[in-house]
A and B are shown apart, each in its own frame.
Chain A
């Protein structure tokens, strides 16, 4: 019954996946009658088998072009499901072993460490597969409470993760899960969350809780709550654990210093081969988090509900430009669930959003009679029993409409793009939504507006997305047309 390490393990093969699933099912069925010590051994063996079989498959999934879209989707779902199932089995095994005096605490804590590991991994793989199971925060906090009750939360143990030996404490693994959770429903892609995870492993010594808040910027986990990390000290009664953000900010800066020297952190492992864009995106997201953005003190635009009216959504610069012209293109219609001055939340089906990713440029026709408002997808996540959630950040001021413009380069070539006026009449915050290709050229462009021909140069990026950027510019001179 015990899963054999001789099993051919490479989960890109369906036979191997089936073997593993059978081993898992056997353990699940036998579990209630199994002596707890034996259960612990079987669980540890099964976990090692899963890790072994996934190493290469996960790398392939994070390498563009190696798998067909169908295989990618199939394997993503499968991996997500296995981490989730193993985590649930692990949680049951931990509680069973903890209640049995014949199982030594060290063994139970090892089970607990492995369970935390797979909670974290299932959170990570939600980005690939969408969230199909609700997050069980009380169960996660319950496991941490158990570690604290046994006074083992700071004890260090060895784990094999993606084929690499790592050392971690239980509180580190718990915090890893909660920090990944913070981003799995946010704006990171699967590549980016892999980079984040690699840093969290590197930063293990700073992933430490304190039982009291004694000043400084902190996030906290409320052990009696059905929720993840929150900012600041707790104002209501109850037990909370506090994570200091300043040491993590120092470590983030250390990563930047290494990039200045030309070194990615860590320099080995899957994250080391991720594109630099992924590293920079995570650095910027962490900057927000570690500076307290999202805390109760940081301003957030008030939300208002939207009652069912569908909105025309244009996807990509070409559709937006076409909509700004005389011939209105066919646009898909999505229903916003809520809105604020800074963005919209759309909830929609898989089909309607399959070509929309984090970073996609959108045009939102808020008022069907007006030009669209420019937006950027900042969040795309599948929520259980609800469909895909698309978070869209508004990039243009609805009271100052965007318009099509054509820049002419020195060679006489013209580039059609979207002019995005800032709300300030000084023009300081005006931008063009441009293709990346245009940014690298450092050319001068001419544009006729009113009675003058303006000569300008794109000179900074205000926002960036997939293949486009919102570029600021400088007017170099103006001549009468």
Chain B
């Protein structure tokens, strides 16, 4: 299998940064994430990407949520918020291997990050035997976001304004006569 995967990797043309490669990647992003991103340029706003990924996750498309974040991380490895959102999604999905690999890669890309205490805590909960997570640092708070014991790196909303608006809109559209 490894041989086969390596062979698949070898089929790619010589220059991965070629214009054609950029075109194919952009087209893939536009098709796979229609309505969310038109090209890789639309992945350069971390806040927007994280929000779109959270919505995908909440609607039961965890694979799409993770892939969207992965694409954005591939594009800008220096932006910590994207890595952290990926880690939180992997944790929520109980993707042990994915979480460990992403945590290691994040630490390598961002040595000395303040977020490691939190990653370490999540890592110990998800993979207690994994040596990567062993710092046992003390957290400043029990939890930060609306979901208990999670750091809310995926930006779940603190207030319910948008939920209330959504419910009002649904009621108006399903009860009233067609209007312009």
Interface residues of A (CB under 8 A from B): 202-203, 205-206, 247, 250-251, 254-256, 258-267, 276-277, 279-280, 287, 324, 400-401, 403-406, 408, 414, 419, 421-422, 425-430, 436, 439-440, 442, 448-452, 454, 456, 458-462, 464, 469, 471-472, 474-475, 477-478
Q: Which of B34, B67, B169 contacts A439 (CB 8 A)?
A: B34
Chain B residue at minimum C-beta to C-beta distance from A281:
B31
| Least Cβ–Cβ distance between B169 and chain A, in angstroms | 5
Assess A454 versus B18: contact at CB under 8 Å? Given A254-B8, A461-B36.
Answer: no
Cα–Cα, bound, A452→B107 (Å): 49
Assess A450 versus B1: contact at CB under 8 Å? Given A251-B8, A426-B167, A430-B166.
Answer: no
Chain B residue at minimum C-beta to C-beta distance from A401:
B174
Q: Which of B5, B36, B174 contacts A251 (CB 8 A)?
A: B5
Cα–Cα, bound, A32→B5 (Å): 47
Give chain B residues whose Cβ lies under 8 Å from the Cβ of A251: 4-5, 8
Across the interface, do B169 and A449 meet the contact criterion of CB distance under 8 Å? yes
Assess A419 versus B16: contact at CB under 8 Å? Given A262-B21, A461-B36, A464-B34.
Answer: no
Across the interface, do A448 and B35 meet the contact criterion of CB distance under 8 Å? no
Stretch at the interface among B22-30, B86-94, B113-121, B139-147: B22-30
Stretch at the interface among B51-59, B123-131, B148-156: B51-59
Across the interface, do A205 and B3 meet the contact criterion of CB distance under 8 Å? yes
Across the interface, do A260 and B56 meet the contact criterion of CB distance under 8 Å? no
| Least Cβ–Cβ distance between A451 and chain B, in angstroms | 8
Across the interface, do B52 and A460 meet the contact criterion of CB distance under 8 Å? yes
Q: With contacts A258-B9, A260-B28 known, what are 17 further pairs, Cβ within 8 A?
A: A202-B11, A203-B4, A254-B9, A259-B24, A262-B16, A263-B16, A263-B21, A264-B24, A267-B13, A403-B178, A427-B169, A448-B180, A459-B35, A459-B52, A460-B56, A462-B59, A478-B169
Across the interface, do B35 and A471 meet the contact criterion of CB distance under 8 Å? yes
Q: Can you name 23 A-B residue pairings with CB atoms under 8 Å?
A: A202-B8, A203-B4, A247-B1, A251-B5, A258-B11, A261-B25, A262-B16, A262-B28, A263-B11, A276-B28, A421-B173, A421-B174, A427-B171, A442-B38, A448-B179, A448-B180, A449-B179, A450-B171, A450-B172, A451-B172, A454-B165, A454-B169, A460-B59
Give chain B residues whose Cβ lies under 8 Å from the Cβ of A456: 169
Across the interface, do A472 and B55 meet the contact criterion of CB distance under 8 Å? yes
Across the interface, do B165 and A458 meet the contact criterion of CB distance under 8 Å? no
Chain B residue at minimum C-beta to C-beta distance from A474:
B162
Q: Does B74 make an interface contact (CB < 8 A)? A: yes
Across the interface, do A250 and B5 meet the contact criterion of CB distance under 8 Å? yes
Q: Which of B3, B20, B174 has the most CB of A within 10 A?
A: B174
Assess A260 versus B74: contact at CB under 8 Å? Given A405-B178, A475-B166, A478-B165.
Answer: yes
Give chain B residues whose Cβ lies under 8 Å from the Cβ of A472: 35, 55, 59
Chain B residue at minimum C-beta to C-beta distance from A442:
B38
Interface residues of B (CB under 8 A from A): 1, 3-5, 8-9, 11-13, 16, 18, 20-25, 27-28, 31-36, 38, 52, 55-56, 58-59, 63, 67, 70-71, 74, 162-163, 165-176, 178-180
Cα–Cα, bound, A379→B9 (Å): 33
Across the interface, do A261 and B173 meet the contact criterion of CB distance under 8 Å? no
Across the interface, do B4 and A205 meet the contact criterion of CB distance under 8 Å? yes
Chain B residue at minimum C-beta to C-beta distance from A268:
B11
Give chain A residues whose Cβ lies under 8 Å from the Cβ of B169: 427, 430, 449, 454, 456, 475, 478
Q: Which of B31, B38, B170 contacts A280 (CB 8 A)?
A: B31
Give chain A residues whose Cβ lies under 8 Å from the Cβ of B28: 259-260, 262, 276, 279-280
Q: Which of A261, A262, A472 has the most CB of B within 10 A?
A: A262
Give chain A residues whose Cβ lies under 8 Å from the Cβ of B12: 258, 261, 263, 267
| Least Cβ–Cβ distance between B35 and chain A, in angstroms | 4
Question: Can you list the 7 inter-chain pairs with the closest CB atoms, starting with the nearest?
Answer: A262-B21, A427-B170, A450-B172, A427-B166, A449-B172, A262-B25, A475-B165
Chain B residue at minimum C-beta to C-beta distance from A264:
B24
Cα–Cα, bound, A419→B4 (Å): 47
Give chain A residues whose Cβ lies under 8 Å from the Cβ of B21: 261-263
Across the interface, do B173 and A403 meet the contact criterion of CB distance under 8 Å? yes
Across the interface, do A276 and B35 meet the contact criterion of CB distance under 8 Å? no
Across the interface, do B25 and A421 meet the contact criterion of CB distance under 8 Å? no
Give chain B residues whose Cβ lies under 8 Å from the Cβ of A266: 11
Chain A residue at minimum C-beta to C-beta distance from B16:
A261
Chain B residue at minimum C-beta to C-beta distance from A481:
B179
Across the interface, do A262 and B22 meet the contact criterion of CB distance under 8 Å? yes
Give chain A residues whose Cβ lies under 8 Å from the Cβ of B27: 276
| Least Cβ–Cβ distance between B93 and chain A, in angstroms | 13
Across the interface, do A427 and B25 meet the contact criterion of CB distance under 8 Å? no
Give chain B residues whose Cβ lies under 8 Å from the Cβ of A276: 24, 27-28, 31
Give chain A residues whose Cβ lies under 8 Å from the Cβ of B74: 260
Across the interface, do A265 and B11 meet the contact criterion of CB distance under 8 Å? yes
Across the interface, do B31 and A277 meet the contact criterion of CB distance under 8 Å? yes
Cα–Cα, bound, A18→B49 (Å): 58
Across the interface, do A206 and B1 meet the contact criterion of CB distance under 8 Å? yes
Give chain B residues whose Cβ lies under 8 Å from the Cβ of A247: 1
Cα–Cα, bound, A206→B8 (Å): 13
Cα–Cα, bound, A264→B27 (Å): 11
| Least Cβ–Cβ distance between B75 and chain A, in angstroms | 9
Give chain B residues whose Cβ lies under 8 Å from the Cβ of A419: 173
Assess A477 versus B24: contact at CB under 8 Å? Given A430-B170, A464-B34.
Answer: no
Give chain A residues whose Cβ lies under 8 Å from the Cβ of B22: 262
Q: Which of A324, A400, A401, A458 contacts B35 (CB 8 A)?
A: A458
| Least Cβ–Cβ distance between B29 and chain A, in angstroms | 9
